Amino acid sequence: MIDKFNTILLDMNGTFMFGADRFGADEDYSVIYRQLGGTIEAERVNQLIRAAYEYLDNRYHKPQYREAFPSLRDAFVSVGKHDQLSERDLDLLVETFAHHELGYVPPEYSAAINRVSHHFRLGLVVDIWAPKTLWIDTLNQCGVLPVCQSSSFSSDCGIVKPSPRPFLKVLEEMQVAPPDAVMIGDSVRRDLGGATAAGISCILVGGAKHSSALGAVANLIDLVESVGSDN
């Protein structure tokens, strides 16, 4: 299915990173916040982080914010405008949010990505709301980032999928034409939609299916194991 391409673009959450976005109603954000040295009282920390999440979530699906998505810091400034938050307060709230947004990469997925990197050039097209610092550390430690030749993190540029611009940016940096690349992701709206708008084929994983996708596979590992089977 993918042997006719020379480049693979990878989504992250739900594709090879799991357990991300821990923002449930019962989540106590003050635990990590306090570990980081924050002093705002616990109930208000939880209120601020829930409010910042809702602020961004309400805009994430709206086309008018697709290429003008607010930063997490801007979200905290907006929802905390009556709190007189200091720069340190904002830094710690953003870092706390990031710890809850960050997932983990199972070893078998990092191994699969390393295997496929011997056959294809790899790039990342990632939507995250917090600054990318924790993700860079995690993706380096698990060996994913070193085998990727280019990456786009939405929190760097304020552009979120399904805008085609992050896809095209990565391909431009790699000097790859859209017909030579395939996107692998778990979201019909974000990954398939953005890839299609950029003229890139897309294979869906994680149970997602759509008639305009090149195909659908249970997970990235199964797809990697199929490399060469078309021959």
Strand order in the sheet with 121-126: 150-153, 121-126, 7-10, 181-185, 201-205, 215-217
The sign of the CA dihedral 224, 225, 227, 229 is: negative
**pLDDT at residue 1, rounded to an integer:** 85
Q: What does the pLDDT look like over 148-201, one tens digit per residue?
A: 999 999 999 999 999 999 999 999 999 999 999 999 999 999 999 999 999 999
With a threshold of 0.85, does the pTM exceed it?
Answer: yes
Q: Is the pLDDT of residue 231 over 50?
A: no
Q: What does the pLDDT look like over 55-86, one tens digit per residue?
A: 999 999 999 999 999 999 999 999 999 998 99
Inter-axis angle of helices 42-60 and 72-79, nearest 10? 120
Average pLDDT of the chain, as a whole number: 97
Distance between terminal CA atoms of the chain?
Answer: 10
**pLDDT at residue 229, rounded to an integer:** 61
Which residues contact residue 87 at a Cβ distance below 8 angstroms, ignoring those fewer than 6 apart? none
Query: What percent of the chain shows pLDDT beyond 90?
Result: 97
**pLDDT at residue 228, rounded to an integer:** 66
Cα–chain center distance at 76: 20
Q: Which residue matches tokens 């109603």?
A: 25
Neighbour-count burial of 46, counting CB atoms closer than 10 A to its CB (0-12 exposed, 13-18 middle, 19+ buried): middle
For domain 7-19+104-225, say whether CATH 3.40.50.1000 is its number: yes
Query: What percent of the chain shows pLDDT beyond 70?
Result: 98
Domain ranges of the chain: 7-19+104-225, 30-101
Taking the CA atoms of the chain, what radius of gyration do you get in angstroms?
A: 18
